Amino acid sequence: MTVAVEAAPPVPASASEFTGTRRLVRLALRRDRIQLSVWVISIVLFMLLVVASVTGLYSTPEELRNIAVSSAVSPVALATNGIVSGDSQGAIVASQSVLVFALVAALMSTLAVVRHTRQNEETGRAEMIGAAVAGRRALLTSALIVTVGANVVLTLGIALGSIAVGLPVVGSLALGASIGGTGIAFAGVAAVTAQITDGARTANGLAGAAIGVAFMLRAIGDVNSTVVDDGTRVVSGWLSWLSPIGWAQQIRPFDDDAWWILLLLIGFAVVHVMVAFVLISHRDQGAGLVQPRPGPPTAASWLPSAWGLAWRMQRMTMFWWIFAVVILGFAYGAVGNEIDAMVGSSQQTAEMFEKLGGGGTDLVDSYLATALGLTSIVIAAYSVQSLLRMRGEETSGRLEPLLATSLSRWRWMLSHLGVVVGGVILAHVLMGAFTGFAFGLVTDDVGGNTLRMTGAALAYLPAVLVVVGLVSLAFGLFPTYASALSWGILAACIVLGQLGTLLKLPQLVLDLSPFTHVPGAPAEPVTVLPLLAMIVVAVVLSIASLVAFRRRDLQG
């Protein structure tokens, strides 16, 4: 008996290592049409909020000069906000925003590149693509094209938004280019890390570590700086010039507008992309250059359980986020005693702290309440990322074999919820403790301030638990859109709860955010009833998410 075997389609003679790039770009755009759009639109909107807040807070030349001079001489302001390049309105906007949004653009870019390269290999999609007429470098090239395109759109969005609110055209373009250029630079870094490891999580971790190193080099260089031009301009130390994030600041939008530094960011990306292309030819499909080390011969006694597995998967993410929270808390607390000098005669800045801090009359306590509120938002971001790991397990196909055993759906999901909630509680305790410890060091009352601020930090916990419940419900009800909905929930909480009072939004709108209902501890007394109500809401949402997950089909 003769068996007919269908021959594979011949590879065209004109095929190259980049064959199929155009179609892969279309595929990547289709997959990321919501996720990248949310990233870009959110960054642009938050940039406009920064511009609006600076315009509203510092409306006179004297107020602009005061904030420039106070920031230039504050080590904490230089480390966390970056350099100062003048006392014009645009220069203050740049000094308050370039560093933060450059970090966000870098994170957006690294996640996008790894998602369309290493994650595709990890899930087996890259092998299916490679079985067709697709070149060896096509997958990475398409990921880079999409990511660079997103950063170009981000650059134009920031520039056009800044121009629309009345800032100078050239400076607005430089502002957008400094942020978008940083994203492009770290897209190149992610292209390299995706070749080194065999897992998307490790590749993202290495790229995140590179961002952290760049941030620290810039911070050390900016702290060791020189103040010139009557205190309104900072000349960074040489370490800042070793960091792509430092280069973004050195463009100095609305001051020097040094466009040539953009070439450093682009050149940095090109060099890393060339290295990534070389590394592709020296590894097998699905493998990394660095092979994973073998695990222990026997598993730990706690690992063969739902809770043990959830802890094993979530622990490194928890560690790095809590580490960032500790650093933020210590930095905010260390400068607390200098807040009067930093605010100076700016009544608008004092009113901003009072509004964000819950309406207290003591400026220092209002500042500390504002710091706790902002850091609590960071903890909420940790909870969103960690909870979305459940969706990653579902889409990768690793969840289905687990549920084929005696492990039930509710126990699996409850274990992840429990680990994340535990991390959220620990983060709030450490946030308050380190903020109070640093503040106590400069006020000679370490013990009292540590206890006081730890208690104040726990007042912000119920609001984050509501976010945990909402994200869990999004995963249970709308798994396909869980990522976009979850980050959108967090963005809405930031706008309504942290910036809504400054934007003078209606109280009915502000009440939609759980952070609106948090008492501004330690600036005002803590009332228990709103906190208990939010805890009840969080529990109800979590139970609803468990029920919804049990009743729906798994979706890859």
The helix/strand/coil state of 186 is helix
- Spell out the residues 6+ positions from residue 389 whose beta carbon is closer than 8 angstroms to its own: 313, 314, 317, 416
Q: Confirm whether 135 is domain-assigned.
A: yes
Q: Please state, in angstroms and rounded to a whole number, the distance separating the CA atoms of residues 101 and 213.
A: 17
Of the listed ranges 60-64, 80-84, 157-161, 335-339, the one predicted with least confidence: 335-339
Read off the pLDDT band of 97 (50, 70, 90).
Answer: confident
Instruction: Give the pLDDT score at 173.
Output: 95
Q: Confirm whether 328 is domain-assigned.
A: yes
> Which has more confidence, 495 or 223?
223
Read off the pLDDT band of 1 (50, 70, 90).
Answer: very low
Instruction: Give the pLDDT score at 428.
Output: 96
- Quote the longest CA-to-CA distance of the chain: 95
Return the DSSP state at 199: -
Q: Note whether 165 and 235 are same-domain residues.
A: yes
Closest CA to 87 of 126, 112, 121, 60: 60
Give the pLDDT mean for 293-312: 81
Of the listed ranges 225-239, 282-296, 407-421, the one predicted with least confidence: 282-296
Q: Note whether 269 and 347 are same-domain residues.
A: no
Q: Note whether 267 and 355 are same-domain residues.
A: no
Closest CA to 450 of 421, 471, 430, 474: 430
Q: Is the pLDDT of residue 24 over 50?
A: yes
Of the listed ranges 144-153, 313-322, 340-349, 371-380, the one predicted with least confidence: 340-349
Tell which of 290, 321, 336 closes a domain: 290
> Which has more confidence, 128 or 536?
536
Measure CA of the first residue to CA of the last residue in the chain; give whole Å: 40
Instruction: Give the pLDDT score at 556.
Output: 64
Cβ-count burial of 295 within 10 angstroms (0-12 exposed, 13-18 middle, 19+ buried)?
exposed
Instruction: Give the pLDDT score at 35.
Output: 81
Residue given tokens 């892969």 in the structure block:
24
Give the model confidence (pLDDT) of 523-532 as tens digits: 888 888 999 9
Read off the pLDDT band of 48 (50, 70, 90).
Answer: confident
Q: Please state, in angstroms and rounded to a whole number, the distance separating the CA atoms of residues 276 and 116.
A: 14
Instruction: Give the pLDDT score at 189.
Output: 95
Give the model confidence (pLDDT) of 171-183 as tens digits: 999 999 999 999 9
Q: Note whether 275 and 312 are same-domain residues.
A: no
Give the model confidence (pLDDT) of 5-16 as tens digits: 444 444 444 457
Q: Confirm whether 6 is domain-assigned.
A: no
Tell which of 244, 266, 290 closes a domain: 290
Instruction: Give the pLDDT score at 534.
Output: 94
Q: Is the pLDDT of residue 539 over 50?
A: yes
Q: Note whether 141 and 260 are same-domain residues.
A: yes
Q: What is the mean pLDDT of the chain?
A: 84
Closest CA to 53 of 499, 506, 520, 515: 499
- Hey, what amino acid is at 489? I
Q: Note whether 497 and 414 are same-domain residues.
A: yes
Residue given tokens 């609590």 in the structure block:
376
Q: Confirm whether 490 is domain-assigned.
A: yes
Q: Confirm whether 8 is domain-assigned.
A: no
Give the model confidence (pLDDT) of 335-363 as tens digits: 777 666 655 555 555 665 666 555 556 77
Q: Note whether 281 and 311 are same-domain residues.
A: no
Closest CA to 92 of 181, 157, 162: 162
Give the pLDDT mean for 44-63: 79
Q: Note whether 89 and 232 are same-domain residues.
A: yes
Q: Note whether 210 and 344 are same-domain residues.
A: no
Q: Note whether 316 and 260 are same-domain residues.
A: no
Q: Please state, in angstroms and rounded to a whole number, the distance separating the CA atoms of residues 373 and 348.
A: 19
> Which has more confidence, 285 or 543?
543
Closest CA to 472 of 395, 537, 553: 537
Read off the pLDDT band of 499 (50, 70, 90).
Answer: low
Q: Confirm whether 54 is domain-assigned.
A: yes
Strands 233-235, 226-228: pairing kind: antiparallel
Instruction: Give the pLDDT score at 344.
Output: 54
Q: Confirm whether 7 is domain-assigned.
A: no
Q: Confirm whether 1 is domain-assigned.
A: no
Tell which of 290, 315, 334 closes a domain: 290
- Hey, what amino acid is at 117? T
- Spell out the residues 6+ positions from residue 184 whose beta carbon is closer than 8 angstroms to its own: 109, 147, 148, 151, 265, 266, 269
The helix/strand/coil state of 235 is strand
Q: To 5 degrees, how large is the angle CA 271–CA 274–CA 277? A: 155
Q: Note whether 269 and 357 are same-domain residues.
A: no
**In this prediction, what percent of the chain has a pLDDT beyond 90?**
34
Read off the pLDDT band of 431 (50, 70, 90).
Answer: very high
Closest CA to 328 of 268, 372, 278: 372
Q: Name the residue range of residue 490's domain.
A: 301-556
Counting Cα atoms < 13 Å in the Cβ hemisphere of 255 gives 21
Q: Is the pLDDT of residue 157 over 80?
A: yes
Closest CA to 176 of 268, 59, 61, 265: 265
Q: Note whether 85 and 26 are same-domain residues.
A: yes
- Spell out the residues 6+ positions from residue 257 whose beta carbon is closer than 8 angstroms to its own: 170, 171, 174, 251
Give the pLDDT mean for 467-478: 94
> How many separate domains does the chain show?
2
Asked if 262 contacts 177 with a C-beta cutoff of 8 angstroms, the reply is yes
Number of Cβ atoms within 10 Å of the Cβ of 480: 11
Asked if 110 contacts 208 with a C-beta cutoff of 8 angstroms, the reply is yes
**What are the residue ranges of helices labelled H in 338-460?**
339-343, 347-356, 363-387, 389-396, 399-403, 409-443, 446-458
Cβ-count burial of 123 within 10 angstroms (0-12 exposed, 13-18 middle, 19+ buried)?
middle
Give the pLDDT mean for 190-218: 86
User: DSSP readout, 435-504?
Assistant: HHHHHHHHHT-HHHHHHHHHHHHHTTHHHHHHHHHHHHHHHHH-GGGHHHHHHHHHHHHIIIIIITTTTT
For residue 10, say if its preceding peptide bond is cis, omega within 30 degrees of 0.
no
Instruction: Give the pLDDT score at 11.
Output: 45
